[in-house]
A and B are shown apart, each in its own frame.
Chain A
């Protein structure tokens, strides 16, 4: 039995029934990493001994008949922008090379409390700025479906790790689509929860008002398992929601579309979307209808300004969030020749430590916040944000969930668009509005595009705090796809050619 090919739910059943131990399961994933990550490059750091130690502890407790947390013994990968105590955390940047945080992020603490062996830290665009993982200072990650293609970003590492069976589950973070877009590129499932549903404490901030941590998995039920573990109020994060949003596992298990109104966002379809993606999307609308849903069209006219607003708000917040990387207290320090004043050391360190996309966004953000420009740029962008929230309010008055393709195209080639930031920014056209409005979104595999045989995807959106709807609708649609295609989408992925 190839343990890594099992779903997370199946792996947990195997652990509980004694079919295999957590050490065996963890070792199987470590072996898989050893065999394919040389070509995929999903991981920046693998902690075999730490993962096996946790696994052994779970096995010992299980053998002793002790009660264990629900996900105990199930391995997981963590995006490298969440702090892990005594384990390197780079955020994909040279400026943090060698930094070992003295504290765990809240989400990592929860994984440890759940006794999940943490396999390692996954690759990302530097500070999560990018949609292809090519802006990682440590080299790009490849798409398991086609190694010369992007896995999406910024969380390409987590998506590729899960997609290539190196981990059953992974943690991602989504600021403008960094969980959902890589899920779309790799035929996996990824959720951005409601803003505040998961604590951001210990997440290296990109855009503080947009960032949200969420689960990456190979199917809806698996994602729900992880979602339930990481969600919940945290007194260390002032923006975390006080209320319990309910069980996602329960929602996924009791999925139903009877009487559910599904809104199709007019502005996120048609021109600009690859034909094969649009075709699969239309088919899914039929599947939803057949499952009992009512399809309605909604219009969100302000979405046309979403990318412009996002690329003012995000760089503005990022420029301030990244100011702390100054060589004084942690991370890289470059001491220039001659008289090394503090200003010169800071400048030299930031010059050497930050990559081009990070510098681009720091400059953009610094400009957008400058006095005299603030009202025109940051101020206007915040007004657009309000308009987008109103568009969603109006749309959710007509529909329980909204749908669109997650991404306008399937995965393109590594190196493509890299010199054209504006073209690159359009990858997130469908995902960004949810971050600006703080609402939850889930990306689900949606068949393969006819043109290239690569994964197509559909995005489900729900009102803030109604994350459960994503799972109940998502589980039904996932089942419908399986019936139509004869197997799970992920099972169409070609075997990764190891050692290429």
Chain B
């Protein structure tokens, strides 16, 4: 496949207006599937959480999961939507081997939630209003694994395996209206919006909300039009974007790719595109036209979902605080400056810091570790911090060890690296590796005397008031102790010695 040519980003924005649209699929954390009693846990042994209904066997009939409907209503309310008093399911008909019935039970013209909106802040501090068109309920398909061939795609595979554990898992699809006017910030806005939706569903406790596990998936629509043009440009829909960072990169990539084509007189093909995390590029998938015919019609096997006003109000009353309120509350509680807090939010560190503080760490210590070493590592690996092998509890434990003077910051970084390397919890690593600082003054004094013997003039200088002269000896002592000493204590002991 020829590598697509890209236009310089700034140039692209000078020439074109960017319009994005986002479809976010949220996998619900209900105990059972959308239309049957099977366990909603597709990580299990393949094809164990299946029954006649989710296998689409002849004669089987669906029954709506009440809890999933409640989750859908909660999400709808939390993103400012109206709730349909009488929403019907519809069949979306198409043939694919991961789709047991060869139709997906979804919602078409009567989604459970519609006409909402959220306000999303991007790293610059700019806030954008994003209009929500709808949120609807549907079922997931099975998971295909293509064996043989080297693309991992169905084309060229020798055979494909289907795991129907995922078939019928409840999904909520949230669709925005076209988003205009974000300009150069469109990629960041796309990522910030998905982060916002993640925060919402996490706070509602309706989804595990882990992008790396596919609990939250985003399809990003991107189109360009000349500034001032009325007609929307042809859009592409980039799928398989599984981290916030990828969303930003994929949108940016599509802007540059489309700009190059359009500027050179080409036309954009309406199609789905696949995001390749490793290469940082998208490639053409299935052509997609408005004439795609899914032959939607009302699902005759299900009666309409008709939530009572009372239920809707009950759910509305149960909603947790919205993300904006939560941010305000946490910033105050943690005492972070605006800049500190914005960095935390933009790095997606609010949740881990909150959990770390809850596990006993001070807010500043939690911030220091997450936005320092851990964020650096995530960046280097091209991952989200949530994908790294470190938990809030481990960070809190690490902070406590430092706080207690058992280790210093430098050793702390070493311990953290070991934690991320899967070597265990901080306490275990410190004992296993013998990293605890030497707090035995006798041992320290012996090392100090040894160093002083090599630099006899230091004590004299200190006595003359040149306290900074102690630095040379501290360095030698720390080296002798292999770093496992509290430098402050060493300094105190040197000064004590000079006073004798």
Contacts of A329 in B (CB 8 A): 55-57, 100
**What 1/0 mask marks residues of chain B from 60 to 94 whose CB sits below 8 Å from any chain A CB?**
11111000000000000000000000000001010
Contacts of A491 in B (CB 8 A): none
Asked if A201 contacts B300 (CB within 8 A), the reply is: no
Contacts of A101 in B (CB 8 A): 52, 57-59
Asked if B58 contacts A320 (CB within 8 A), the reply is: no
Assess whether A317 is interfacial by the CB under 8 Å rule: yes
Contacts of B295 in A (CB 8 A): 319-320, 366, 369-371, 374
The CA of A319 and the CA of B62, in the complex, are separated in Å by 18
Assess whether A40 is interfacial by the CB under 8 Å rule: no
Contacts of A330 in B (CB 8 A): 57-58
**What 1/0 mask marks residues of chain A from 208 to 244 whose CB sits below 8 Å from any chain B CB?**
1100000000000000000000000001111100000
Asked if B100 contacts A237 (CB within 8 A), the reply is: no
Of residues 425 through 460 on chain B, the ones whose CB sits less than 8 Å from some CB of chain A are: none
Among A105, A201, A319, A325, the one with the most B-chain Cβ atoms within 10 Å of its Cβ is A201
Q: Which among A323, A346, A366 is the interface contact of B101 at CB below 8 angstroms?
A: A323
Asked if A323 contacts B95 (CB within 8 A), the reply is: yes
Assess whether A205 is interfacial by the CB under 8 Å rule: yes
Of residues 86 through 143 on chain A, the ones whose CB sits less than 8 Å from some CB of chain B are: 89, 91, 96, 99, 101-103, 105
Nearest residue in B to A350 (C-beta to C-beta)? B95
Among A204, A237, A239, A329, the one with the most B-chain Cβ atoms within 10 Å of its Cβ is A329
Contacts A102-B52, A369-B93, A371-B293 given; does A209 touch B59 at CB 8 Å? no
The CA of A202 and the CA of B52, in the complex, are separated in Å by 9
Main DSSP-derived SS at the B contact region = loop
Asked if B301 contacts A320 (CB within 8 A), the reply is: no
Nearest residue in A to B37 (C-beta to C-beta)? A236
Q: How far is the CB of B50 from chain A (nearest CB, A)?
A: 10
Give chain B's interface residue range (CB within 8 Å of chain A).
Answer: 20 to 34
Q: How far is the CB of A78 from chain B (nearest CB, A)?
A: 13
Contacts of B61 in A (CB 8 A): 200-201, 236-238
Q: How far is the CB of A399 from chain B (nearest CB, A)?
A: 29
Assess whether B472 is interfacial by the CB under 8 Å rule: no
Assess whether B203 is interfacial by the CB under 8 Å rule: no
Contacts A102-B52, A324-B56, A326-B95 given; does A378 touch B102 at CB 8 Å? no
Assess whether B103 is interfacial by the CB under 8 Å rule: yes
The CA of A105 and the CA of B57, in the complex, are separated in Å by 12
Asked if B62 contacts A238 (CB within 8 A), the reply is: yes
Of residues 184 through 206 on chain A, the ones whose CB sits less than 8 Å from some CB of chain B are: 200-205
Asked if A205 contacts B59 (CB within 8 A), the reply is: yes
Q: How far is the CB of A395 from chain B (nearest CB, A)?
A: 25
The CA of A320 and the CA of B102, in the complex, are separated in Å by 8
Asked if A323 contacts B103 (CB within 8 A), the reply is: yes
Q: How far is the CB of B103 from chain A (nearest CB, A)?
A: 5
Contacts of A470 in B (CB 8 A): none
Asked if A208 contacts B301 (CB within 8 A), the reply is: yes
Q: How far is the CB of B52 from chain A (nearest CB, A)?
A: 5
Asked if A346 contacts B301 (CB within 8 A), the reply is: no
Main DSSP-derived SS at the A contact region = loop
Q: Which among A204, A205, A320, A342 is the interface contact of B297 at CB below 8 angstroms?
A: A320
Contacts of A70 in B (CB 8 A): none
Of residues 287 through 340 on chain B, the ones whose CB sits less than 8 Å from some CB of chain A are: 291, 293, 295-297, 300-303
Contacts of A103 in B (CB 8 A): 52, 57, 59-60
Nearest residue in A to B154 (C-beta to C-beta)? A342
Asked if B162 contacts A328 (CB within 8 A), the reply is: yes
Of residues 292 through 321 on chain A, the ones whose CB sits less than 8 Å from some CB of chain B are: 316-317, 319-320
Q: How far is the CB of A330 from chain B (nearest CB, A)?
A: 7
Nearest residue in A to B160 (C-beta to C-beta)? A342
Contacts A103-B57, A202-B59, A208-B300 given; does A323 touch B102 at CB 8 Å? yes
Contacts of B100 in A (CB 8 A): 324, 329
The CA of A102 and the CA of B101, in the complex, are separated in Å by 17
Contacts of B102 in A (CB 8 A): 323-324, 326
Q: How far is the CB of A110 from chain B (nearest CB, A)?
A: 15
Assess whether A476 is interfacial by the CB under 8 Å rule: no
Among A203, A239, A320, A325, the one with the most B-chain Cβ atoms within 10 Å of its Cβ is A320
The CA of A106 and the CA of B277, in the complex, are separated in Å by 49
Contacts of B302 in A (CB 8 A): 238-239
The CA of A200 and the CA of B61, in the complex, are separated in Å by 8
Contacts of A324 in B (CB 8 A): 56-58, 100-102
Contacts of B162 in A (CB 8 A): 328
Contacts of A235 in B (CB 8 A): 63
Assess whether B97 is interfacial by the CB under 8 Å rule: yes
Contacts of B95 in A (CB 8 A): 323, 326, 343, 346
Asked if B60 contacts A201 (CB within 8 A), the reply is: yes
Contacts of B301 in A (CB 8 A): 205, 208, 238-239
Q: How far is the CB of A85 from chain B (nearest CB, A)?
A: 11
Of residues 95 through 137 on chain B, the ones whose CB sits less than 8 Å from some CB of chain A are: 95, 97, 100-103
Assess whether A83 is interfacial by the CB under 8 Å rule: yes
Contacts A238-B64, A323-B101, A371-B291 given; does A317 touch B300 at CB 8 Å? yes
Contacts A238-B301, A323-B102 given; does A102 touch B57 at CB 8 Å? yes
The CA of A99 and the CA of B64, in the complex, are separated in Å by 28
Nearest residue in A to B293 (C-beta to C-beta)? A371
Asked if B291 contacts A239 (CB within 8 A), the reply is: no
Contacts A324-B56, A326-B102, A342-B97 given; does A236 touch B297 at CB 8 Å? no
Asked if B154 contacts A238 (CB within 8 A), the reply is: no
The CA of A374 and the CA of B108, in the complex, are separated in Å by 14
Asked if B59 contacts A320 (CB within 8 A), the reply is: no
Assess whether A82 is interfacial by the CB under 8 Å rule: yes
The CA of A370 and the CA of B297, in the complex, are separated in Å by 10
Contacts of A203 in B (CB 8 A): 59
Q: Which among A99, A102, A209, A366 is the interface contact of B300 at CB below 8 angstroms?
A: A209
Contacts of B62 in A (CB 8 A): 238
Contacts of B56 in A (CB 8 A): 324, 329
Contacts of A208 in B (CB 8 A): 300-301
Q: Which among B58, B91, B297 is the interface contact of A91 at CB below 8 angstroms?
A: B58
Asked if A370 contacts B293 (CB within 8 A), the reply is: yes
The CA of A346 and the CA of B102, in the complex, are separated in Å by 11
**What 1/0 mask marks residues of chain A from 22 to 53 whose CB sits below 8 Å from any chain B CB?**
00000000000000000000000000000000
The CA of A209 and the CA of B52, in the complex, are separated in Å by 20
**What 1/0 mask marks residues of chain A from 369 to 392 whose CB sits below 8 Å from any chain B CB?**
111001000100000000000000
Q: How far is the CB of A133 from chain B (nearest CB, A)?
A: 20
Q: How far is the CB of B425 from chain A (nearest CB, A)?
A: 45
Q: How far is the CB of B72 from chain A (nearest CB, A)?
A: 17
Asked if A236 contacts B63 (CB within 8 A), the reply is: yes
Nearest residue in A to B164 (C-beta to C-beta)? A329
Q: Which among A105, A239, A319, A343 is the interface contact of B59 at CB below 8 angstroms?
A: A105
The CA of A42 and the CA of B133, in the complex, are separated in Å by 55
Contacts of A205 in B (CB 8 A): 58-59, 301
Q: How far is the CB of B412 from chain A (nearest CB, A)?
A: 54
Contacts of B297 in A (CB 8 A): 316-317, 320, 369, 374, 378
Q: How far is the CB of B116 from chain A (nearest CB, A)?
A: 27
Of residues 343 through 375 on chain A, the ones whose CB sits less than 8 Å from some CB of chain B are: 343, 346, 366, 369-371, 374
The CA of A207 and the CA of B300, in the complex, are separated in Å by 9
Q: How far is the CB of A322 from chain B (nearest CB, A)?
A: 9
In order of increasing CB-CB distance, the 7 nearest A-B pairs are A323-B102, A369-B295, A209-B300, A208-B300, A202-B59, A204-B58, A83-B59
Give chain A's interface residues, CB within 8 Å of chain B: 82-83, 89, 91, 96, 99, 101-103, 105, 200-205, 207-209, 235-239, 316-317, 319-320, 323-326, 328-330, 342-343, 346, 366, 369-371, 374, 378
A-B contact pairs, 19 of them (CB 8 A): A89-B58, A101-B59, A102-B57, A103-B59, A103-B60, A201-B59, A203-B59, A208-B300, A238-B303, A239-B301, A323-B103, A326-B95, A366-B295, A369-B93, A370-B293, A371-B293, A371-B295, A374-B295, A378-B297
Given contacts A205-B301, A236-B63, A239-B300, 9 further A-B contacts (CB under 8 A): A82-B59, A83-B57, A89-B58, A200-B61, A202-B60, A238-B63, A239-B301, A320-B103, A342-B97
